[in-house]
Chain A
Amino acid sequence: MRPSPLPLRRAARQILSSSSPSAIRATAPAVPTARRSLNTSSTQTGSDCTCGNCIRRPQIQKLSKQQQQQRQQQQQVQKQQRSSYHSYDHPSSPASFTPVEESILSAAYQHVPSHGFTSSALAAGARDAGYLDISPTILPEGAFTLIRYHMVKQREGLAARARELFGGEGHVGARPGFSEREIMGRVEALMWERLLGNKEVIGRWQEALAIMAQPSYVPPSLKELAMLSDEILFLAGDSSVDPSWYTKRASLSTIYAAAELFMTNDHSPEFMDTRAFLNRRLREVNEVGGVFRNLREWVGFTATAGVNVLRSKGVRI
């Protein structure tokens, strides 16, 4: 469709972030005539206007005040996710997107298979949700927001999938004592679930990966990847709280990213090849981890034995 030109975007953002109607009127001339619907209604109070053009007018005006608060809240939520004390009694609101963003993005998400992760999908979604085509300009990162929406929703859906897969055990209480093998199996199942979450958009995922590789989007993409591997390991019941906390998350992130890339070129039925690929990578990590464990055990044993030999010779240590 029409990607919004830059001046149009800027004008819309000004309108949406200003709180008084006069400000809207003042910026109105900057809006090209094609988008006249915004300023034709600016002289009316809006709430009881019945003309077709300004049907969304009151909502946009209300938006402007709430928008800033919501944006601040959202930034706070993002900050909270970084410093991650997870409270069960005093949970922070899980919303990663404001209600308006949520409605636009969820509608736009339906257009991804046909339009890809693009601004045209966003515009189509905004129209479906009953906003103006221009409304996606409130999303600061444009098409990347749609990609992030996909990743966040898939990650948040994993908890429910885990309950289906492993039965309804809560994660409240002491650390679950799963063996390494059990955790490996659960991690594999969860990663596969997450990869299948890309099934609907797999034809468009290479584009998405290309957008995510743009320098300004690399940090948020990596953060999302880190949060995904953290979520998978937590849901799988991995309770390590030593340096392996870091190594496990790092290796899982690498494997996931590789498997995701592999999947975009996989034409086998039911993505069988991807699953085999995933299993091979996980097995390799296990083997490398086993070598390190054995090495550490050997060093520890040798050190203890050495100390004991010295003690038997009369050294007082």
Chain B
Amino acid sequence: MLRPATRPALAATRQVRQCAARFLSSPAAPDTSSSNINDPSTTPKTNPPPPPPNSKSSNTASKGKKPLTAEQRAFLSSALRVNQAGELAATLIYTGQTPPLVNRDPSLRPLMKHMYDQEAAHLRTFNDLIYRHRVRPTAMYPIWSVMASGLGWGTAMLGKEAAMACTEAVETEIGGHYNAQIRKLLEMVSEWEAEGYEVGAEFRDLINTLRRIRDEELEHLDHAVEHDAQKAEPHWLLTGVIRAGCRGAIWVSERV
């Protein structure tokens, strides 16, 4: 299904995954689901169940659950806020891309619908989390909405390759961003376990949700590369600008 020309390129964009696998398998961050990142045969849906909550703390005297510190709370608020903003932007990018793309090439309809449905589910997940944990949504919401719709529609008007390059750039940034968050959360959890505290189901669920979502985002990255993202002209400029934009948006959304 892959043409030889795109194969090395695909390998290059897998860097994010390998990077993810490297840190997740490091001893500092015990991780049970890191194996399926390298193994394409397992779909993201079949993540192994989270380790039992007291697997590590059962031998030490359990001290209950440690209250979150101010920094941890600040990190979690900004993480949820930026994730919600990101998923909002992703759904709007796909919404903007779908009509022009499907108009040109109706065979893309199922793929676009699949990616859009996944992004919409992610957005619902983060909306629920934001409400439940009483985190302030980003104040830039209207601006991100307009910019994301414009980006989706604009790249789709440039052609299928440009649209896929946009997906590639966005999902690369997002994948790395989720990885950074998961790493930080695993650090928190392993710190608690080392000190003999229990870890609540809330955090296990959050980490597993983030892992599942990251895997789905990286799946979109693969789809984009398979659909000629690297053939966009000029590829370096498009992806460079969009990735820089993503990083800027993430930086801003973490703060306001």
A positions within 8 Å CB-CB of B: 76, 79-80, 83-93, 171-175, 230, 234, 239, 241-243, 245-246, 316-317
Contact = CB atoms under 8 A, between A and B. Distances in A.
Nearest to B141: A243
Contacts of B139: 243, 246
A89 B200 contact: yes
Chain A interface main SS type: loop
Contacts of B127: 175, 239, 241
B68 A317 contact: no
Interface stretch (B30-38, B71-79, B111-119): B71-79
A242 B141 contact: yes
B65 interface: yes
Interface stretch (B2-10, B14-22, B130-138, B218-226): B130-138
A89 B137 contact: no
A85 B68 contact: yes
26 contacts: A84-B135, A85-B80, A85-B135, A86-B132, A87-B68, A87-B202, A88-B200, A90-B66, A90-B68, A90-B203, A91-B68, A92-B73, A171-B132, A173-B132, A174-B128, A175-B127, A175-B132, A230-B134, A239-B127, A241-B130, A242-B137, A242-B141, A243-B141, A245-B136, A246-B139, A317-B157
B134 A234 contact: yes
Contact of B134 (A86, A90, A242, A316): A86
Given A241-B137, A242-B141, A90 B65 contact: yes
B34 to A, nearest CB: 24
B131 A175 contact: yes
Nearest to A243: B141
A317 B128 contact: no
B26 interface: no
| Interface of chain B, main secondary structure | helix
A90 B67 contact: yes
Contacts of B78: 83
Given A85-B68, A85-B80, 14 more contacts: A76-B70, A85-B133, A85-B134, A86-B132, A90-B65, A90-B67, A91-B67, A93-B67, A234-B134, A241-B84, A241-B127, A242-B137, A242-B141, A317-B99
B180 interface: no
Contacts of B234: none
Contact of B76 (A85, A239, A245, A316): A85
Contacts of B68: 80, 85, 87, 90-92
A85 B77 contact: yes
Nearest to A242: B141
A317 B149 CA distance: 14
Contacts of A316: 100, 103
Nearest to A307: B99
A232 to B, nearest CB: 12
Going nearest first, the 7 A-B pairs with the smallest beta carbon separation are: A89-B200, A85-B76, A89-B202, A83-B74, A86-B134, A85-B73, A85-B77
B252 to A, nearest CB: 15
Contacts of A89: 65, 200-203
Nearest to B135: A85
Interface centre among B74, B131, B139 (most CB of A within 10 A): B131
B52 interface: no
A38 B137 CA distance: 52
B110 interface: no
Given A90-B66, A242-B137, A316-B100, A80 B73 contact: yes
B49 interface: no
A195 B201 CA distance: 38
A80 B70 contact: yes
Given A241-B84, A246-B139, A87 B133 contact: yes
Given A245-B136, A317-B99, A317-B157, A88 B202 contact: yes
Nearest to B198: A89
Contacts of A230: 134
Nearest to A317: B100
A296 to B, nearest CB: 11
B142 interface: yes
A172 B205 CA distance: 14
